[in-house]
Amino acid sequence: MSKDFLVADFEFTQYTKRMGRPRGFFSEIIEIGAVKIDGTELVVTGSIQNFVRPHFYPKQAKEGMDFCMITEQDMKQAIEFSEMLAKMSALYVPGQTYFVAWGEEDYKVVAEGCKRHKLDNPLLLEDYLDLAAAYKLMKGDSYTTGLRKATEEQNVDTGGLWHTAYDDAANTGKLLVKLLANGWKPEDYFAAVAELQNKQ
C-alpha cells in the first residue's frame, strides 16, 4: 500500500535583527496550511487552513503577522497550538503518511513548538520528506531551488498567493503530484539520504 502525504506550510515569527534578540526566543507558528494527498490516487482528500495563536513573544509575533499580511481580526479566529497538532494528527498516520514540506524549517518549527508547549510531537522525523532537498537531489544541483521556480520548471498549474501558508502548501502538493506522476519515488530520496549519511 502506498503511503499518503500530508503536505504542509507554516508561517512563523522570526528574529532577523543583529541585536536585541529576546532571551530564549524561538519561532512561533502563526499560520498553517496543509493538504492531504492519497498516495494511490494522488488526489487531495483533506485540508487545513488556520491561523495559530502565538503565546511567548507577542512583539515578534506582531512583526511576523505584518510580514505575512495577517491582521488582528484574523487572529481573533486563531486556534491554539495544541488544536493545530490535533488537526494534523487527524490527517497523519505515523508510518503510513509522509509529512512533506519545502525545506527543513517546517519540521523544526513544529518540533520546537511542541518542546516549548510541553506537548508530544505527533510527527515522526522518519516520515519527514523535505521536498526541496529531494528536488535538489533529483536534479543533481549544488543549490536549492525555490518553490516558485521549481513549479515553473515542472510546468505546474499553481494558484493563489505566494508566501501564504495554504496556497504554498497546495502548490507544493501540486508539484509533488507532478513529480510522482513523472516517476519520481520518495523511496529513492530516502535511500540517497541514507547513503550520504553512511559516507559521512
Please report, rounded to a whole number, the percentage of residues in the chain having pLDDT higher than 70: 97
Query: Considering only CA atoms, which of 149, 110, 107, 114 is closest in space to residue 130?
Result: 107
- Beta strands 44-51 and 4-12 are unpaired
* Domain CATH number, residue 19: 3.30.420.10
Residue 53 has pLDDT above 90, yes or no: yes
Ramachandran angles phi, psi of 100, nearest 5°: -115, 135
Residue 127 CA to residue 151 CA, distance in Å, equals 23
What is the per-residue pLDDT for 69?
Answer: 81
Whole-Å CA distances, 21 to 14, 18, 65: 10, 8, 18
What is the per-residue pLDDT for 1?
Answer: 58
Residue 118 has pLDDT above 80, yes or no: yes
What is the per-residue pLDDT for 136?
Answer: 95
pLDDT in tens, 6-25: 999 999 988 776 676 788 88
Residue 87 CA to residue 62 CA, distance in Å, equals 24
pLDDT in tens, 142-196: 999 999 999 999 999 999 888 889 999 999 999 999 999 999 999 989 988 888 7
If one counts the domains in the chain, the total is 1
159 close to 24: Cβ distance less than 8 angstroms: no
Domain interval for residue 190: 4-199
- Does the reported pTM lie above 0.85? yes
What is the per-residue pLDDT for 196?
Answer: 77
